[in-house]
Amino acid sequence: QQKVQQSPESLSVPEGGMASLNCTSSDRNFQYFWWYRQHSGEGPKALMSIFSDGDKKEGRFTAHLNKASLHVSLHIRDSQPSDSALYFCAASEVPGTGSNRLTFGKGTKFSLIP
């Protein structure tokens, strides 16, 4: 079973619209979450991290984490053409409990409706 699951698989919104991406972990050891974005032909690039319950805002992006349910979401407002990309949720374990590697979900393909 995939330890980090993302939904939806793909998402399209009009330019200027709002988008919501979801991520759930099935492993209680995963307590630290990241969102990465990958444009075609490039490596993934970190967007933001969230380690505490609640919201974290960075520009047009807001992440929300609920540690009790191990659910994290990413909200994109005022979507721009440059936002069209593959978005990954990634999780790592609490330091000291295991490897510090990041485990990635399979991604959400986000695109703008012209």
Partner 1 sequence: NAGVIQTPRHKVTGKGQEATLWCEPISGHSAVFWYRQTIVQGLEFLTYFRNQAPIDDSGMPKERFSAQMPNQSHSTLKIQSTQPQDSAVYLCASSLRTENERLFFGHGTKLSVL
| Cβ-based nearer residue to partner 1, 33 or 79 | 33
- Assess 82 for contact with partner 1 (CB under 8 A): no
Exposed/middle/buried for 81, CB within 10 Å: 0-12, 13-18, 19+?
A: exposed
Residues 70, 47: Cα–Cα separation, whole Å? 19
| Cβ-based nearer residue to partner 1, 18 or 46 | 46
- Assess 29 for contact with partner 1 (CB under 8 A): no
Binding mask 44-63 for partner 1 (x = CB under 8 A): xxx--x-x------------
* Radius of gyration of the chain, Cα coordinates, nearest whole angstrom: 14
- Assess 9 for contact with partner 1 (CB under 8 A): no
- Assess 88 for contact with partner 1 (CB under 8 A): yes
Residues 96, 51: Cα–Cα separation, whole Å? 16
Q: Choose one: 10-18, 28-36, 58-66, 76-84; the region binding partner 1 (CB under 8 A).
A: 28-36
Interaction site with partner 1 (CB under 8 A): 32, 34, 36, 41-46, 49, 51, 88, 92, 95, 99-107
